[in-house]
A = this chain, B = another copy of it.
Amino acid sequence: MKIADVVKEQARKAKEASKVLAATETAQKNEALLLMARKLRENISEVAQANQDDCKEAQEKGISSNLLNRLKFDRAKIESRAAALEGIAALPDPVGDTDYCTRRPSGLEVKKMRVPIGVVGVIFEARPHVVPNVGALCLKAGNAAIMRGGSEALRSISIMGELWEKTLEESGIPTAAVYVISTSEREAVNTLITLDEYLDLLIPRGGIELIKLVKENGTVPIIKHFNGICHVYLDQSAPEGIATRVTHNSKLLMPEVCNAAETLLIHEKAARRLLPPVAEALVKDGVTLKGCPKAKEILGWMEDATEEDWSTEYLDLILSVKVVSSLEEAVDHINNYGSHHTDVIVTDDYNGAKKFSRGVDSGVVLVNASTMFNDGEQLGMGAEVGLSTDKLHARGPVGLRDLTSYKYVVEGSGQIM
């Protein structure tokens, strides 16, 4: 069978499975999640080995270091996914939940009831942890999931796809409910993005080429997970300790992820005080700094930042630095050059914090905290399927509730208009 036909047939089965899932009781879904957690732990050596094989081959092919970091899925990471599955099982089931209830003058009682979306497709790059996360969140929300990972992660994701299949079979849920496309053929992506007959939502996680492909050729509605040009802005009153800690953590905890900081903005009245200690902490851990002319007046050894730097997602140990003359200029810079993803202000000024939070048009705006907190678990919504850069349906971390739609249920006693 041709790969296009395989994908199409699987999507058709996923649609059928989604109808069963929509009516599956919470207990049965939770049991499947807990079983998958057990299977991950029982097969931890095999999964880790598959991932090592993937990593080895990727290294031989000369993969970049940040992509390699994303690809790595060691025992600790696998264990954390098993724990995440248990966490998702413990979350309240959103399906059937009602979150807007009102009684109208007509006597009608109106409820807004959460329902599953249907079939969710996810296209992702290297990170294997997507397979347990997305599968679990979709399952809990009553959706079927169909996933297509990058070829470099093929062994890691295929073995977890098999674990899902066994889990579902043993749980009495149609196995098409969570499916991993186990092929590196490009044709699978081209097919998946046009299956609007079966897919209700597509989440493309990846670079500009994938987004372009999907926008130009796709027919399934999408929530984009695009690039992150994220900023840390040190306001005039920023305390040095927090400024250093938050900047360092935002750049260095995981430089390869989309919510890592790419540009540091500093108020001109704080630049002489803050830039030297912040720069020292970064440079000590291997970060290359690129400064604007005003920043270079303070630290002349920095490389020159060009206009292009302000809109570059390095995903690497590089940080651009710009001195701004006001909080307003910082907000304008972020809204113009950023990607509306994750931005931070470090400040001691109440009104400045409010102004920044209001003014910056990004999915997550933080005050005195690291960009790393743009994360579904950290913000209290369970795990997430990714960080949306869209404004429709879901923005920021896409959690369990964002994987549902709703219907209005209206109860009357014979009302007409």
| A binding-site residues for B, Cβ under 8 Å | 22-23, 96, 102, 104, 106, 108, 110, 113, 115, 117-118, 196, 200-201, 215, 219, 221, 223, 239, 241-242, 245-246, 248-249, 253, 353, 357-359, 361-370, 372-374, 378-380, 390-393, 395-397, 405-417
Contact = CB atoms under 8 A, between A and B. Distances in A.
A363 B409 CA distance: 8
Judged by DSSP, the binding face of A is mixed
6 contacts: A362-B407, A365-B409, A366-B411, A368-B411, A369-B413, A397-B408
Contact of A405 (B242, B391, B415): B391
B380 A408 contact: no
Contacts of A357: 113, 409, 411
Listed from nearest, the 4 A-B pairs whose CB atoms lie closest are A369-B412, A249-B416, A242-B414, A391-B405
Contact of A393 (B23, B366, B392): B392
Nearest to A391: B405
Given A104-B378, A106-B378, A353-B411, A417 B219 contact: no
B412 A102 contact: no
A395 B108 CA distance: 19
Contacts of A414: 239, 241-242, 245-246, 368-369
A411 B368 CA distance: 7
A337 to B, nearest CB: 15
Contacts of A239: 414
B108 A373 contact: yes
Contacts of A417: 249, 253, 370, 372-373, 378
A242 B411 CA distance: 13
A193 to B, nearest CB: 13
A116 to B, nearest CB: 9
A379 B221 contact: no
Contacts of A396: 407-408
A391 B118 contact: yes
Given A373-B410, A407-B396, A411-B367, A391 B108 contact: no
B395 A405 contact: yes
A269 to B, nearest CB: 21
A364 B253 contact: no
Contact of A367 (B249, B364, B365, B410): B410
A138 to B, nearest CB: 14
Contact of A108 (B200, B363, B365, B378): B378
Contacts of A379: 102, 104, 108, 110, 408, 410
A39 to B, nearest CB: 29
A392 B405 contact: yes
Given A106-B378, A242-B414, A415-B370, A364 B117 contact: no
Nearest to A375: B417
Contacts of A407: 361-365, 395-396
B373 A415 contact: yes
A415 B245 CA distance: 8
Query: Which of A104, A364, A378, A409 counts the most B-chain CB atoms under 10 A from its CB?
Result: A409
Given A253-B417, A395-B405, 18 more contacts: A104-B378, A106-B373, A108-B373, A242-B413, A363-B407, A364-B408, A366-B411, A367-B411, A368-B415, A369-B410, A370-B417, A372-B417, A373-B412, A373-B415, A374-B408, A392-B405, A395-B406, A396-B407
